[in-house]
Amino acid sequence: MSYQLLKHDVLFYQRFLAVGGFYKGVLDGQWGPITNTADAEFVEQSKLITQQYGTFDAASESNIITLLPEAQAEARKFLIIAKDNNQDIRILSGTRTYDEQDLLYQHGRNGDTRPIITNARGGQSNHNFGIAWDIGVFANGCYVENDIPYKSFAAMALPLMKTIEWGGNWISFKDYPHYQLKPVSKTESVIRGLFEAGNVYV
């Protein structure tokens, strides 16, 4: 999703801004002056992080801006590692609202003929909490679908980044393009509760 879309779901965005320490008002889904100020502060801090770590391709930029600041910094460090190792890695997905997650959950279910791409409904994915991103590996400018370069990139990058974890290490469902900040809890419902109350978990 884009930052502009993130702003459309005001309650979701207020929770996101509260977790980031920007929003101190009531979580009421109404865009007023407190939300406006928090939004401006979030944009400003995102700019400072960008200045510190540099910019990347357009897709990565549009997705990084949807992450919480701590995740933005880690995502940029992650792309620096890729660049330093001559890997064309792009961030193709960042934060999703619950509604967007529910739409993805429909893929491959209830007569939908597309492949299943997620087992998480809205509020069940770390993509809903501003701390997760999915990458694409590219070779000669083309998106690579097979798992091998995703595994070799993880083997190279993970020892350099102690703050993140990789979906390829999950036991039940291997998600090779997926990375996230190590969450405060392994249980998504715990993070969901913190997110919905606007409490910090990163």
Q: 15 or 178, CB closer to Zn ion?
A: 178
- Per CB under 5 A, the segment of 10-18, 32-40, 58-66, 127-135 that binds Zn ion is 127-135
CB of 28 to Zn ion, least distance (A): 30
Tell the smallest beta-carbon distance from residue 179 to Zn ion (Å): 8
For residues 181, 183, 186, 192, the Cα torsion angle rounded to the nearest 10 degrees is -110
Nearer to Zn ion, 14 or 125 (CB): 125
Name the residue number minimizing CB distance to Zn ion: 178
Interacting residue with Zn ion among 39, 74, 100, 134 (CB under 5 A): 134
Cα 133 off chain centre by: 4
For residue 179, give the nearest of 194, 165, 192 by alpha carbon.
165
178 in contact with Zn ion (CB under 5 A): yes
Subset of 180-199 contacting Zn ion (CB under 5 A): none
Q: Residue count at the site for Zn ion (CB under 5 A)?
A: 2
What does R_g of the chain's alpha carbons equal in angstroms?
Answer: 17
**Long-range contact list for 9-14, CB < 8 A, 24+ apart?**
9/97, 9/98, 9/99, 10/35, 12/97, 12/98, 13/39, 14/38, 14/198
Residues that bind Zn ion (CB under 5 A): 134, 178
